[in-house]
């Protein structure tokens, strides 16, 4: 029973265009969300986070949007670059639910030159 | 700067063997996590340490899995009598602060890929 879902296993986007990666969650206790990026043979690296008191957080080319009522968040990458090609994991946590993150299964993004 | 390191990077074990996986967290990081990542899946939580104290081991799949962090720095994940379903990448992560792991950026190591034959 996955609490964090990423329903698109893969996504291909042309360089320069927008990449939109989606994530849905089921546990209403989650109040902090993160995106991690993972290259092959490396560990996940932190990308951007958002607290449930916000609905948007922006960092350069990366923006995360949170829709609490729909239990949905998305990561926008604009413009997409070939170096963005990686697996992207959505993760969630809850203040009173333990110290760990709960990860989704990931979406593989391919940015085509 | 030194990040989280893990060794070995790859381990092949015969079914029934015991294995030990090592994690060196970022110096000064109080919190340490172990995750298991099966092929095509996201990391799944195994256990959490705050300094040397193992505060949460709810994710350990069986009593064959044991983790320790005796001096509050290096951690070892031990799997006894390995089975084929233990084949996965084992990721270690550390974060700076105590008690705020769910809010603090976790820095991951490259992982140990365990293959049980």
pLDDT per residue as tens digits for the range B94-111: 999 876 656 788 999 999
Whether residues B33 and A99 touch (CB distance < 8 A) is answered with: yes
Which residues, other chains included, contact A7 with Cβ-Cβ below 8 Å and sequence gap of 6+? Answer: A22, A24
Residue A108 has a pLDDT of: 97
pLDDT per residue as tens digits for the range B80-90: 999 999 999 99
Residue B101 has a pLDDT of: 57
Query: What is the C-alpha to C-alpha distance for residues B3 and A57, in angstroms, rounded to an integer?
Result: 26
pLDDT per residue as tens digits for the range B34-64: 999 999 899 999 999 999 999 999 999 999 9
Provide the residue-wise pLDDT of chain A in tens; the chain has 113 residues.
Answer: 789 999 999 999 999 999 999 999 999 999 999 999 999 989 999 999 999 999 999 999 999 999 999 999 999 999 999 999 999 999 999 887 777 889 999 999 999 99
The answer to whether B87 touches B14, Cβ cutoff 8 Å, is no
Whether residues A43 and B93 touch (CB distance < 8 A) is answered with: yes
Whether residues A104 and B42 touch (CB distance < 8 A) is answered with: yes
Residue B105 has a pLDDT of: 87
Residue B100 has a pLDDT of: 60
What is each CA distance from B2 to B6, B74, B90, B108, in whole angstroms?
A: 12, 14, 19, 12
The answer to whether B64 touches B97, Cβ cutoff 8 Å, is no
pLDDT per residue as tens digits for the range A24-49: 999 999 999 999 999 998 999 999 99
Q: For all residues of chain B together, what is the average pLDDT?
A: 93
The partner residue sitting opposite B33, judged by closest CB among A95, A100, A105, is: A100
The answer to whether A100 touches B108, Cβ cutoff 8 Å, is no
Residue B13 has pLDDT above 80, yes or no: yes
């Amino acid at each position: 029973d996955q609490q964090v879902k990423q329903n698109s296993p893969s996504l291909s986007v042309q360089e320069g265009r927008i990449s939109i990666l989606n994530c849905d969650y089921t546990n209403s206790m989650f109040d902090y969300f993160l995106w991690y990026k993972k290259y092959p043979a490396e560990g996940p690296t932190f990308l951007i986070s958002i607290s449930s008191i916000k609905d948007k957080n922006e960092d350069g080319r990366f923006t995360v949007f949170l829709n609490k009522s729909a239990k949905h968040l998305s990561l926008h990458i604009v413009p997409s670059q070939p170096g963005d090609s990686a697996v992207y994991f959505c993760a969630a946590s809850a203040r009173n639910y333990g110290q760990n993150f709960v990860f989704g299964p990931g979406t593989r993004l391919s940015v085509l030159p | 700067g030194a990040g989280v390191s893990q060794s070995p990077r790859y381990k092949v074990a015969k079914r029934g063997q015991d294995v030990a996986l090592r994690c060196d967290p970022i110096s000064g990081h109080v919190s340490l996590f172990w995750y298991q990542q099966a092929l095509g899946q996201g990391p799944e939580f195994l256990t959490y340490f705050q300094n040397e104290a193992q505060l949460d081991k709810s994710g350990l799949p069986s009593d064959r899995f044991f983790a320790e962090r005796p001096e509050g720095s290096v951690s070892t994940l031990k799997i006894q009598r390995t089975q084929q379903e233990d084949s996965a990448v084992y990721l270690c992560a550390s974060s700076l602060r105590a008690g705020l792991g769910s809010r603090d950026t976790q820095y991951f190591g490259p992982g140990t890929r365990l293959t049980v034959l």
